[in-house]
Chain A
Amino acid sequence: MIELQDLHKRFGPVEALAGLNLQVPRGTLYGLLGPNGAGKTTALRILCTLLAPDAGSVRVAGLDALAQPRAVRELLGYVAQEVAIDKILTGRELLELQGALYHLPASRLQARLSELSALLGMDDWIDRRCGTYSGGMRRRLDLASGLLHDPALLVLDEPTVGLDIESRAAIWQVLRRLRDQGTTVLLSSHYLEEVDALADRLAIIEGGRVIAEGSPTGLKSALGGDRVTLRVREFSDEAEAARVRQVLQSCPGIQQMVVNRAQGHSLNLVVENEAVIEPLRRQLAAADLPVFSLSQSRPSLDDVYLQATGRTLMDAELAVAGSRDPKAERKQAMR
């Protein structure tokens, strides 16, 4: 459905996309995972014909989006990250405007309106002015306007950022249902659990290119090994963590040991399998070390991310948190 090939885009000194490649099969719910500033929004804006790449090709349903932008626009619904609504119009009026921009006949527009209003639970407030809406209501309205013309491809940029749990669950449900009905859905997110729970396939984006791609389970099982988080005390200090590390050094079956300073100097271990746990406990007891908690899990998407980039998603977020300029980015999005 979507083929992005070798996309490059530069904003002044910032290289937003550095040769991004992406294939999204028809009918899948596809997740783009990456920290803020990784290039997700730029890629989506190019896909939706709002931005021209410096180099590379964009194909949607076999159409060249750069040569036939209008045909591609008919095919896709785009739910942008920053919800742009007209505060003074009611939700219904905004959707009616949207319908006219997609040239829907009046009867079909009204039918779609009541369908979507019911589906997204908008009946109670669709005739109120948009200026009075909460973040969740706005996002639902925006989803409705993206779906109004029943597009074959729905593109959502961070659809659940800052939303309450109820709205998020409602949006997730709608997206799953769309996928089940055959719509291709592409969403970007920096929430691991969102992509994990929703996506059939995902691509991890970092520094403007795709660094890992596959199904969530595929990516996780490819990592291999179990994850163990060990705390000898609720909050240890550095010296104690080093001592635990020393003690476990001789324990067989431990592939990797990292002290997580952000979480009370707990130890994050990668172990071969469950059989490692018992000798590990014995070793600790022999060294007179208590065990406050010991949890074991299969690899998560965060581990996939860590493996691919060398840092956790949260660290990547923190790394760019102070260095972005939201004002300059808004300027870039301005026409």
Chain B
Amino acid sequence: MTSAPTLTAPQPAAPSAERSAMADLSQETLALTKRLFLQLARRPSTLVAGVLQPLIWLVLFGALFAKAPEGLLPGGMSYGRFLGAGVIVFTAFSAALNAGLPVMFDREFGFLNRLLVAPLRSRSSIVIASVLYITSLSLVQSIAIMGTAALLGYGWPGAYGLVLVLVTLLLLVFAVTGLSLGLAFALPGHIELIAVIFVVNLPLLFASTALAPISFMPTWLGWLAALNPLTFAIEPIRAAYAGHLSLTEVVLEAPYGDLTGAQCLLVLALLAVGLFLLIRPLLDRKLS
């Protein structure tokens, strides 16, 4: 980290004046992200539980319909294979839904005040650090589940398929992280946040195509599932697992019409952008 000699001597009284805003921003963001990873390394229960829960789903639920009549599912897929995509998405979704918890605890314990009294270049570094952390955590957990699913004989999407899976997960994780961070600033305490997470988590799973295709559902639930963001992530991944890697192929036959993989991803992207735009005024107010 040496710099070229300058004409004027550095001013020790104004240490930050000579540094660029980008350098400051990355320094503070990295330090905040590092803190979250140190917490994770020393309290790995979040990581372990985040892998264990979907793993149990995969093993138990996958076995539940092992002897179901052949040809029950569209495309003659085995139930384990069908379920795989749903559980992968559920893993990433659950992890991202918890993104707000560390922020909420920082608010409650006053640690956030410690951050806010510091001359942060931009207070969005607090949000960026959370997004970086939760994105890596949820992707690691999802990949662990994908590996397990492969070992159970539920398939592997291949190299290009893997990219497609990860992009899909990333978009979903961004959207859900935005939602969770928004809740972390809007709700009064962690009890309320945990309650919302608890209430939202499983119903969203059941009202999606994670466990059964829309064709199995009554009309009202089919509509719900076809509007559920999880479905928009599950179907492109399921298609990738089935070897249908073209984004122009129809992956979701919704009551309102057919959607291609590209259209599903677009919905997820719009959702992510929309949610961040929606919570922005709230973050600005709370962090100003």
A interface residue numbers (CB < 8 A to B): 48-50, 70-71, 73-74, 78, 80, 82, 84-86, 88-89, 93, 96-98, 100-106, 108, 145, 149, 331, 333-335
Contacts and interface: CB of A to CB of B under 8 A. Distances in A.
B35 A89 contact: yes
22 contacts: A49-B116, A50-B113, A84-B109, A84-B111, A84-B114, A86-B35, A86-B111, A88-B39, A88-B43, A89-B35, A97-B31, A97-B32, A97-B34, A98-B118, A100-B31, A102-B119, A103-B15, A103-B19, A103-B28, A149-B15, A333-B110, A334-B108
B110 A84 contact: yes
A80 B117 CA distance: 10
Given A98-B118, A103-B16, A105-B15, 18 more contacts: A50-B113, A71-B119, A73-B118, A74-B16, A80-B113, A80-B114, A84-B109, A85-B111, A86-B39, A100-B27, A100-B28, A101-B118, A102-B119, A103-B24, A108-B15, A333-B110, A335-B185, A335-B287
B120 interface: yes
B118 A88 contact: no
A73 B28 CA distance: 15
Chain B interface size, under 10 / 10 to 19 / 20 to 34 / 35 or more: 35 or more
B279 interface: no
Contacts of B113: 50, 80, 84, 333, 335
Interface string B102-143: 000001111111111111110000000000000000000000
Contacts of A74: 16, 119
Contacts of A88: 38-39, 42-43
- For A101, A106, A334, which residue has the most chain B Cβ atoms within 10 angstroms? A101
B67 interface: no
Interface string B175-192: 000000000010010000
B27 A334 contact: no
A328 B107 CA distance: 14
A70 B109 CA distance: 23
